[in-house]
């Protein structure tokens, strides 16, 4: 055990607390990193399909026009930077969701799907709704973006549940 951790453990023991989990290093379950990567790819594709279908409604909910989506040359501009950022964010989300699913025991389809949906309900849709309300965005924006993140987390939960 590292000296700093030993000192912290000694302080907690003096107060009567147990740090067995920290002392043994068994805090995180084993994570299948291939499953995490597959979950990130699958959820990124799900998002592309989601906004491919709801793109016009999303642009309207933002209060934008088709011209706002064009570059200086007048051609449609593909937002490459945000798309790359989205992939890495979804990779991190899949890693964290894998940790949550792993804490429930052996990964399974129900554990993955339910965990993804509950993370969405407890953290994602609440945050989106509050942020959009304070920014005075149209409620439809929260519906579209919230639905996207629900799809992302449930798809990730499915992949992680099946691949472990």
Residues 86 and 129 in one domain: yes
Domain enclosing residue 124, as ranges: 31-163
Confidence band for 12, pLDDT divided at 50, 70 and 90: low
- Do both 77 and 43 map to the same domain? yes
Do residues 3 and 60 share a domain? no
Residue 161 binned pLDDT confidence (cut-offs 50, 70, 90): very high
- Note whether 144 and 80 are same-domain residues: yes
Q: What percent of the chain has pLDDT over 90?
A: 69
Residues 21, 73 within the same domain: no
Q: pLDDT tier at 22 (50, 70, 90 boundaries)?
A: very low
* pLDDT, tens only, 93-116: 999 999 999 988 889 999 999 999
Kindly state the tokens that stand for 94.
Answer: 């899949």
When divided into structural domains, the chain yields a total of: 2
Q: Per-residue pLDDT tens for 129-148?
A: 999 999 999 999 999 999 99
Q: Are residues 22 and 81 in the same domain?
A: no
16 versus 106: the higher-pLDDT residue is 106
Mean predicted lDDT score pLDDT of the chain: 88
Residues 78 and 98 both lie in one domain: yes
**73 in the same domain as 134:** yes
Task: Give the model's pLDDT for residue 24.
Answer: 39
76 band by pLDDT with thresholds 50, 70 and 90: confident
Task: Check whether residue 9 and residue 66 sit in a common domain.
Answer: no
In this structure, the answer to whether residues 58 and 13 fall within a common structural domain is: no
Quick one: pLDDT band at residue 87, thresholds 50, 70, 90? very high
End-to-end distance of the chain based on CA atoms, in angstroms?
A: 29
């Amino acid at each position: 055990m590292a000296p700093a951790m030993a000192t912290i453990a000694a302080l907690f023991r003096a107060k009567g607390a147990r740090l067995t989990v920290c002392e043994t290093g068994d805090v995180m379950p084993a994570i299948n990193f291939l499953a995490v990567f597959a979950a990130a790819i699958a959820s990124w594709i799900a998002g592309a399909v989601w906004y491919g279908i709801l793109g016009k409604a999303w642009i309207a909910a933002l209060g934008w026009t088709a011209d706002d989506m064009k570059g200086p040359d007048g051609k449609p501009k593909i937002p490459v930077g945000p798309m790359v950022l989205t992939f890495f964010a979804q990779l991190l989300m899949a890693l964290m969701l894998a940790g949550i699913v792993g804490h429930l025991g052996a990964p399974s389809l129900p554990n993955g799907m339910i965990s993804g949906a509950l993370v969405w309900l407890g953290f994602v849709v609440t945050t989106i709704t509050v942020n959009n309300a304070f920014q005075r965005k149209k409620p439809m924006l929260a519906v579209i973006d919230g639905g996207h993140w629900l799809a992302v987390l449930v798809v990730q939960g499915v992949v992680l549940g099946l691949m472990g």
